Amino acid sequence: MVRPKQADQHPDLPTAIKETARGLIAENGAASLSLRAIARELKITAPAIYNYFPSRDDLVTALIVDAYNSLRDTLLVSQEGDEKSHAERIFSSARTYRNWALMHPEEYSLIFGTPIPNYHAPMEITGPAAAGSMSVLLGVLDAAWRAGALKTEGVLDSTPEMVQAWIDKFSYDGDPAVIQFAMASWAQIHGIVSLELNGHYTAFPKNVSVDSFFEIEIRAMLTRMGLKG
């Protein structure tokens, strides 16, 4: 009896490694991810992983980049459809962001959660990936503003330091208030999603839906921007 080559069981091993890693992170958290656990799960030996990822940190970096790209792609798809109003587009981006996080909690915690101990993300790789997904969110607001759909008067007395930093970094030539809105909306959505994912909202009987609470908050967000949801 000839034992089949392992490759036969995992035609695309690098992908299988990453998928298994995501599964393990979902179970035990990103901090306790280990190459040996991945290998055990895949029924290969740990050194085999080194054929595809030079070290554990490189695997983690690949997972982070994948996560940012997945979020970005999901957001882009949600914006398709020319018939949508600006309010609808913003609304659907917000919903999509939350839904993506709820469906991929392990990836959300990987990019927005507490950093993994002893892992230092190489900014020249994760930076652009992060900017890619964030720029989609900003893009929706910017488009709405350029179409004159956003009320920005009186939002800012002067430009906050952080908003200015963003403007400088990305050479943004629109209204600073759009950046303020973008960062505020992001914080609001992230705040809800983060509390939700870590069980701070639902320490109740369990299975309490956050959906309608979230919808109301997004509507309030749109109202603040001068849009009707």
Partner DNA sequence: TGTACATCAGTGAACGCGCGTTCACTGATGTAC
Q: Whose CA is closest to 181, among 132, 123, 130, 139?
A: 139
Q: Nearest distance from residue 103's CB to DNA, in Å?
A: 26
Write the Ramachandran bin of 115: left for phi over 0, alpha for psi from -120 to 50, otherwise beta. beta
- Binding string to a copy of itself for residues 17 to 36, with x set by CB under 8 A, is what? -----------xxxxx----
Residues 1-30 that bind DNA (CB under 7 A): 2-8, 10, 13
- Binding string to a copy of itself for residues 208 to 227, with x set by CB under 8 A, is what? xxxxxx--xx--x---x---
Find the binder of DNA among 23, 27, 34, 208 (CB under 7 A). 34
Residues 46-105 that bind DNA (CB under 7 A): 46-48, 50-52, 55-57
> Cα separation of 84 and 47, whole Å?
51
Q: Nearest distance from residue 110's CB to a copy of itself, in Å?
A: 9
3-state SS assignment for residue 135: helix
Q: Which residues contact 193 (CB under 8 A, 6 or more apart)?
A: 97, 98, 101, 102, 108
Query: How much of the chain is helix, strand and coil, in % rounded to 5?
Result: 70, 0, 30
Our finding on whether 44 is near DNA (CB under 7 A) is: yes
Residue ranges in contact with DNA by CB under 7 A: 2-8, 10, 13, 33-37, 40, 43-48, 50-52, 55-57
